[in-house]
Structure 1
């Protein structure tokens, strides 16, 4: 039976946020802080998107993203703003390895996403022949990059495929679950793209990046976690939104958007909500569907965004069954180059990496593996028990772990990570240009400005600020700074 709908008019100053991942929640939090009324609609029955906690052997752990970049302020600032400041925690150890050519090898230092300034730092990971190839780079003719270039293709051209296959690929794969030979340098490693645009030696360009970083003298941890898991952040933000008067509805998919004479109508299966503004913080495929009628061009661009799927296999062992050998001692985990033909692409030793995990489960050793890359997702169709078994086989080969887990948890992130191929930022610019033709609507999320948590939050703040400007004539930043809501009706652009 078709459910009837009714139109709810909440008056001026009302924004509907579509999507309850961290971007949507951050946008809602920003809008509430600017004094607007907010309704957040999430299609699924939970908030947080790829940030999620769960239990293994009675211990709460992250089953999605587990850390956030601390050298950018947005995520750390949001955590503090919603009362989690005293629970921020850097990794207890960040000593990672690369499992390649049959051995665990220390992760090289002194590189930019696997690209070295000095070939010597890659000794052990790269063969002598590969190091000799890198050493020839300064003698090569400069490589033109145009408006964009694939990271893997450019680096292989300058330094040889081995440095890409054994270091750049697993590092980029850990962020995007993608293919280094397709991933846009301009989007994924912008500081590297800036120096290669200048031409000349890639090695010299990386050295300049390193010198600039040293001159900034950044201190403090590169990454931060949260005691109890990064997955606790969405709930804390949601609580703050509700405390500010915002409404959050889960299991409420949006079925359509219609531009009206004085704003927008947002249609769900039970009602039509009148809004002065919309922040669309949904995945590309959902945003494409919702924009099809009002912006066919933006919809078509969003429909072309591809995603990678992956699975996380979390394993808990009795600590007494896990011998702390040289392969485990002091390490936070390891990456696995695809070229080595293994199933897992990485493993994180959660008990070593996060003190809060070790404290919460002193008798357990908890780790997790990740499976699945762009274009290599057949593994995800296996049963959970099969994914556990292949993870255990690879762990036995990598670190000699032969113990039987006391508990396991497999978390599948289908369509979890948008891909950033060459030209991605140009696509994003076209999307934003088309969306800008729709007054009172903005987009944000991992599709646009980066897949990391701080990047998603920054994009959400940008979208919220622009909506506030449309509705009130001020920006959220100005309002938050002064504590004063700029009262008014819709801006002329929004009428």
Structure 2
């Protein structure tokens, strides 16, 4: 069957669908992972992407002749999905753990070593946060053992619950910058159940939060995970979607860029998809785009799911990449970079010392030091209204204040991610369950991506695999993900 034709020649959409043809909408890592998995099942796949490139939020680039990531730069290695997909796409020999994982907090006027022995910033003992918190803050943690139980119900905000048990200083100085690095959000809004599911389950079975953390740490100690927590890819994580796309094409899959979907309709014979100047007829469709465009696509056929997806909020952010002469950055502190608590009043929220963190960057630019900073959080629109020069200037100011780095960079790049990170407020898990319940009423339709089960790369891939199983009639994967979201950042238990 021909997969395309002029849309005006098929107004009724009555052409029967090819039972072995699946259309994937979106060529980010979730869509590409879905296509890759579908091809393993022997079906014919067409991926349609509105933009002119594949990869979504994974974007390779360069600065001063050195390859860098202009989007996400690492992926959780203690889940199998991302590492497994990289290997399947031929990148096994390019997987590379960080050269150093020693990070700092820029707080209370100094760079301080990142505490160990915590789960997403929540300590098992007050002593774990010594040097980061004030004496009053440490004393407040000790009161946790004496407090009555704090009920979490079906969900609760991370910041609200942790502050109730351990005090606001723990949230403001450690939990907030860790969560902010993942979601660019507000810890006092972010769902404990969706963002830190292991803590949510522990909170339901323990009265003391510090006792719950120690229990989690104890389980980790008896069966310690092997290998690094995170991994990168030589040349940048942004090369992963390119390799997966190449593998998809090599297996016979078709990827069409510059083809926005303007119609998605369920017909008696399957699904009719209008993408650019093409009409595609398929037995199934996997929608792998962010929540808002997904809502637009689903509005006609699944209005209730569309209404839920329309309510998902996003945060925008920008990454500022700077290259310095190595001689000018000789006094840069050791480690992979630092996080910045918003309570300290600085503009940047983090800085990565990329040349220190990734050996391949150091090798490609031996006379350079590449750094990057990030700005922008949920609800903070003022900073992103500045031009690129303004973002570079504020990054240089904060880097100078934190590290003493005063030299001018030899090159800079600003990458803006408008609506880049979905927010997971209290009740997010219930919204995802409702979306999937509505979608499940339409045979051959599934949704996946960062808006559902976790914002990290492994979470997006797991979501894609579950969507593939769903369109093939197996709902166990989506049920498991809905019940147990994928934590997007390792919490530090046992580290």
TM-score over 0.5 for the pair: yes
Does the Cα contact within 8 Å between 1:9 and 1:273 map onto a contact in 2?
Answer: no
Determine which of 246, 256, 272 is the counterpart of 1:249.
256
Q: 1:235-285 CA distances to partner (integer Å, 9 max, x unpaired)?
A: 000001001111100110000111100100001231221010000001100
Work out the CA distance in 2 between the residues paired with 1:354 and 1:281: 30
Shift of 1:347: 0.1
Q: Aligned to 1:447, what secondary structure does the other structure show?
A: coil
> What is aligned with 1:209?
216
Match of 1:428 among 424, 427, 432: 432
Which of 453, 464, 483 aligns to 1:460? It is 464
1:390 pairs with 2:397: no
For 2:416 and 2:9, the matched residues in 1 are separated by: 37
Is 1:341–2:345 an aligned residue pair?
yes
Distance, in Å, in 2 between the alignment partners of 1:15 and 1:291 is 17
Report the equivalent of 1:177.
184
Q: Does 1:227 align with 2:234?
A: yes
Q: How far off its partner does 1:381 sit? A: 1.1
Measured in 2, the distance between the counterparts of 1:410 and 1:316 equals 12
- Helix, strand or coil at the partner of 1:449: coil
Quote the residue 2:56 is aligned against.
Answer: 49
Greater Cα offset, 126-135 or 7-16: 7-16
1:80-159 aligned at under 5 Å gives the runs 80-159=87-166
Q: Name the structure 1 match of 2:325.
A: 318
Alignment match, 1:365: 369
Task: State the shift of 1:5 in Å.
Answer: 4.1
Equivalent residues of 2:69, 2:238 under 8 A apart: yes
> Aligned in 2, Cα 1:474/1:444: closer, same or farther, shift over 3 Å?
closer
Shift of 1:199: 3.8
Determine if the alignment matches structure 1 residue 27 to structure 2 residue 34. yes
Separation in 2 of the partners of 1:213 and 1:304?
37
Could you tell me how far apart the structure 1 residues matched to 2:224 and 2:174 are? 26
Contact 1:89 1:227 in 2 (8 A): yes
SS at 2:315 equivalent: strand
Q: Which moved more, 1:315-324 or 1:398-407?
A: 315-324
| Equivalent-residue separation in structure 1 for 2:476 and 2:225 (angstroms) | 33
Partner Cα separation in structure 1 for residue 307 and residue 89 of structure 2 = 37
**8 A contact 2:16–2:270 mirrored in 1:** no
Residue segments in structure 2 that go unaligned for 5+ positions in a row:
1-5, 478-495
Give the Cα separation in 1 of the matches to 2:193 and 2:159: 12
Structure 1, unmatched stretches of 5+, are 476-495
Kept in 1: contact 2:7–2:279 (CA 8 A): no
Q: For the residues of structure 1 that align with 2:217 and 2:412, how far apart are their CA atoms?
A: 41
Identify if the C-alpha distance between structure 1 residues 107 and 85 changes in structure 2 by more than 3 Å, giving closer, same or farther: same
Work out whether residues 192 and 426 of structure 2, in 8 Å CA contact, stay in contact via their aligned partners in 1. yes
Displacement of 1:467:
1.7
Q: Is the 8 A contact 1:263 1:275 kept in 2?
A: yes
SS at match of 1:276: strand
What is the distance in 1 between the residues matched to 2:136 and 2:153? 30
SS at match of 1:446: coil
Q: Structure 1 stretches (4+) deviating beyond 6 angstroms?
A: none
Q: CA deviation at 1:6?
A: 4.5
Verify the 8 A CA contact 1:5 1:270 in the aligned structure 2: no
Aligned pairs for 1:296-315 within 5 A:
296-315=303-322
SS in 1 for 2:472: helix
For 1:399-418, list aligned pairs within 5 A.
399-418=403-422
Q: Work out whether 1:218 is the aligned partner of 2:225.
A: yes
Instruction: Check conservation: 2:288, 2:447, Cα contact below 8 A.
Output: yes
Alignment correspondent of 1:11: 18
Contact persistence 2:17–2:271 (CA under 8 A): no
- The reply to whether residue 238 of structure 1 matches residue 242 of structure 2 is no
TM-score relative to the length of structure 2: 0.93
For the residues of structure 1 that align with 2:364 and 2:426, how far apart are their CA atoms? 43
Cα offset for 1:393?
Answer: 0.2
Question: Residues 21 and 426 from structure 1, CA distance in 2 versus in 1: closer, same or farther, beyond 3 angstroms?
Answer: same
SS at match of 1:445: coil
> Which shifted more, 261-270 or 447-456?
261-270
- 1:44-73: CA deviation from partner (whole Å, max 9, x where unpaired): 011111100111111110000000000000
Q: Is the 8 Å Cα contact of residues 17 and 269 (structure 2) preserved in structure 1?
A: no
TM-aligned CA deviation for residue 459 of structure 1: 0.7
CA contact (8 A) 1:4 1:269 kept: no
**Residues 179-234 of structure 1, C-alpha deviations (whole Å, 9 max, x = no match):** 00000000000000001112410000000010111122211100000000000000
- Counterpart CA distance in 2 for 1:366 and 1:35 is 44
C-alpha distance in structure 2 between counterparts of 1:9 and 1:39, whole Å: 17
Structure-2 separation of matches of 1:216 and 1:377:
44
